[in-house]
Structure 1
Amino acid sequence: MLEAHDLACLKGDRLLFRELAFCLQAGDLLRVAGPNGVGKTSLLRLVTGLALPEAGEIRWQGASIRREREAFHRELLYLGHAPAINDLLSPLENLRFACAAAGDDSDEASCTRALERIGLADQLDLPSRVLSQGQRRRVGLARLFLSARRALWVLDEPFTALDVNAVADLAQALSEHCAGGGMVMLTTHQDAPFTRTPRVLDVGAYAC
């Protein structure tokens, strides 16, 4: 279970939101909504421990993520808005490196299957600098197919630059993760054909 209690977020000298609270349990799909600039990405950074709240606390399985940081991060997969890939490496090399660094399954066969599923079968060995924006995005998203053991997936705009078929496949993968007892928290400006109805957390309701 992931819980947020009375969160406040300060960005620079501006208080984005305060008294924000939610609870995410096994099987939940939570869509973080609100207008641009309200603090959606900032909230994800608080949830993942990449930033500290001005007030309030985030708990994983009842314990503060600040006190149980390592245990929490073993259960977390976070994919930010920008694709974190090396332009000099191929998609296959990038994926194997990212998985190995995170301690996930990174053998060549598994990574190849993940990239093929995300639509990069013909780009496996190309240098990533020649990929389109959507293809670069898919390299990072392929990690989802290798991280089922991580209970909590936190994703910032995962559908950006994907075509209709890729959006549908990704929505199915997220729904399947929740159906298996996982949790997904994401931001998105796009409608996606989820097979599980997302709950919505409107950050704008807590804006200052």
Structure 2
Amino acid sequence: MTQLRTGVIANCAREDQRLLTPARLEVDEIACRRGTQLLFEHLTFEVAPGQVVWLRGQNGRGKTTLLKLAAGLASPDRGRLLRDGVPVRSSASHQQQLIFIAHANALKEDLTVREALAFLQCIHGRRCDAATVDAALDSLGLRTRRQTMVRMLSQGQRRRVVLARLAVEDQPSLWLLDEPFDALDTDGITRVNALLLAHVHRGGNVLLTSHLSVDPKLRPVELDLDRFAARMPA
């Protein structure tokens, strides 16, 4: 614990600072299974540079599973997921450059807010120096919480810490976000929407799930997974 407190910010990984080219995510005729249950099939769409695609559908339809497929963390039952024509699971650049923020915040309870964000940045190979971390926290309204222990935070504040990862990004990468607005108040939602808008303006693309409405300024393309639900035999 002492080693982490003294070194997590100073000895962080160095992110490759080369300017990225906006990428296109292509989903081609995929089917997805959970155990023996086929969740959806014949799903084809793309997430183009500068585009937000909003995944919708009933609980259990496979929205989170689809995000994991897009991240290359699992393989579809059928079909392909490609980044600029290369399968996502075999694309090193895809794994290195995307941002995947899951529904669970996965913060370490015994770290301060500053340490927790620096740790997340470090393990994902992103900038995690003190100035970068503090600026990111400030952008999510957490300036006065930098030294607060994670275990003392509300759920909304914890969500802000995790989403502060987005404030560090300045490249047109792919963001995969699972319920990013969950537990946020109006101020938090406004701050996250500002980050999303800046991201699409620089050519970044976003695939997200949300039970709340997505800001129309983002011009989201809605994709309802219920339309692709596997049909049960009569």
Separation in 2 of the partners of 1:197 and 1:67? 31
Residue 148 (structure 1) shift = 2.5
Cα contact 2:83–2:94 (8 A) shared by 1: yes
Distance 1:193 1:162, change over 3 A: same
Deviations 1:132-169 (A, max 9, x none): 01111111000001122261000000000001011011
Distance 1:144 1:38, change over 3 A: same
Separation in 2 of the partners of 1:5 and 1:203? 14
Equivalent residue number for residue 170 of structure 1 = 192
SS at match of 1:122: helix
User: What does residue range 70-89 of structure 1 map to in structure 2 within 5 Å?
Assistant: 70-89=92-111
| 1:159 counterpart = 2:181 | yes
Deviations 1:13-49 (A, max 9, x none): 1000011011111100110011111111111111111
| 1:96 counterpart = 2:106 | no
Separation in 1 of the partners of 2:58 and 2:121? 33
Separation in 1 of the partners of 2:94 and 2:148? 35
Residue 66 (structure 1) shift = 2.2
Q: Specify the structure having the higher radius of gyration (Cα).
A: 2
Q: In angstroms, what is the RMSD of aligned CA positions?
A: 1.1
Q: How many aligned positions are there?
A: 207
| 1:125 counterpart = 2:147 | yes
SS at match of 1:184: strand
Residue 109 (structure 1) shift = 1.1
Residue 65 (structure 1) shift = 1.2
Deviations 1:43-99 (A, max 9, x none): 11111111211111100011111222x211122000000102100001100111111
Equivalent residue number for residue 127 of structure 2 = 105
Q: After the TM superposition, which parts of structure 1 deviate over 3 Å for at least 4 consecutive aligned residues?
A: none
Which of 190, 197, 204 is the aligned partner of 2:219?
Answer: 197
Unaligned runs of 5+ in 1: none
Which of 11, 29, 38 is the aligned partner of 1:6?
Answer: 29
Separation in 2 of the partners of 1:43 and 1:83? 19
Unaligned runs of 5+ in 2: 1-23
Residue 101 (structure 1) shift = 1.5
TM-score, normalization by structure 1: 0.96
Deviations 1:93-142 (A, max 9, x none): 01111111212111101111111111211211111011001111111000
TM-score, normalization by structure 2: 0.86
| 1:40 counterpart = 2:58 | no
